[in-house]
Amino acid sequence: MAMSLRRLLRHETILAMLVVVALVILAAQSERFFTADNLLNQGRLMAEAGLVALAMTFVIVTGGIDLSVGSMLGLSAILVGVFWKNVGLALPVAMVLAVGAGGLAGLVNGLIITRFKVPPLIATLATLALYRGLAEGISQSRSVRGYPEWFYVLGQRDAAGVPVQVWIMLVAVLVSAGILGLTTFGRATYAVGANETAARFSGVAVDRTRLLVYTASGLMSGLAAVILVSRVTTTRSDMGTGVELDVITAVVLGGTSIFGGKGTILGTVLGLALIQTLRSGLSLAGVKGDGTIVVIGLVLIGAILVSNLFGRDGDG
């Protein structure tokens, strides 16, 4: 692994303990919380941001950032409806194309960043506007409804007692963790984020690595979009707005350095769990959805503050 065992234990263990503490507190607050049903439902709600966060981990480890994930999600969501209802394609085809469109959007991000050397921050800020704008323009604020029954399996049904998207998430987590931690591509990702020049001089395909992580970010956004549409049974052009906050917070909370070069999938998963627990706890306490983002914002700033205080990030 690209983080020494000692450091890994320190951060992820603390995080895991926090998750446990949060769960215990919430369980004490409300007996409805700690039921299998509710926990699985939390998993269901977490899946969309979760998928995106897995890809975002790679992006941030390379030292970049992708602010456009919410817009790519929204665009893909709209395209599901458009491909199916307006273009008349079969729904499975529409779904695949929508995910593909997300991937294409991510690829465009990657090209702007690698080919034109635009800093990821501004490139994805611009595409955040562009993709959301396309979503709004294409949909003209009309939403698509009336999907066939089988479509809702993805978002609302269970398989073997566990929500379908939790299965999907589980597979995605295992695959991502495997790629990041065990493969040459994962090593390349860490190298690019830690010291791009040295990576290039060592024969690492820097641009290709970046291109792939941003495309993956788009694909995950697309996949999350399909699941989201299936869960809420409709498509709207404002879907995914603000998801970048949750995703970036989860990744950073999980120990990934915002400067690149360090981070793990396990950490991101724990970060997601903590955020979801926070959200659900706040909502049980009667705080409305918008109030929870206050807490998430505080957590984001706090997480980096603490990590800056306790260690030097980046390459010496």
Helix (H, G, I), strand (E, B) or coil at 260: coil
Euclidean distance between CA atoms 246 and 202, whole angstroms: 35
Q: Of the candidates 33, 58, 131, 214, which one interacts with another protein according to CB under 8 A? A: 131
Q: Which of 24, 198, 283, 310 binds another protein (CB under 8 A)?
A: 198
Q: Quote the least distance from Cβ 74 to another protein, whole Å.
A: 11
- Spatial distance between the Cα atoms of 284 and 123, rounded to a whole number of angstroms: 38
Q: Which listed range, 29-37, 155-163, 189-197, 272-280, lies at the site for another protein (CB under 8 A)?
A: 189-197
How wide is the angle at C-alpha 253 spanned by C-alphas 248 and 256, nearest 5°?
75
The distance of closest approach from Cβ of residue 263 to another protein in the complex, given in angstroms and rounded to an integer, is 12
**In this structure, are residues 278 and 295 in contact, taking their beta carbons and an 8 Å threshold?**
yes
- 174 lies in the site for another protein, by CB under 8 A: no
- Positions in 251-280 near another protein (CB under 8 A): 252, 258-259, 261-262
| Residue 283, amino acid | S
Site string for another protein, 22-61 (x = CB under 8 A): ----------------------------------------
Among the listed ranges 20-28, 91-99, 225-233, 291-299, the one in contact with another protein (CB under 8 A) is 291-299
Residue 197 found at the interface with another protein (CB under 8 A): yes
Which residues fall within 8 angstroms of residue 4, CB to CB, at 6 or more apart? Answer: none
Q: Which of the residues 200 through 229 are near another protein (CB under 8 A)?
A: 200-205
- Stretch of 33-41, 132-140, 148-156, 157-165 contacting another protein, by CB under 8 A: 132-140
Closest CA to 57 of 98, 131, 2, 136: 2
Helix (H) or strand (E) holding 159: strand 158-159
Structure tokens at 264: 């793990």
Cβ–Cβ < 8 Å for 2, 189: no
CB of 137 to another protein, least distance (A): 4
- From candidates 15, 52, 123, 177, binder to another protein by CB under 8 A: 123
- Total residues found in the chain within this entry: 316
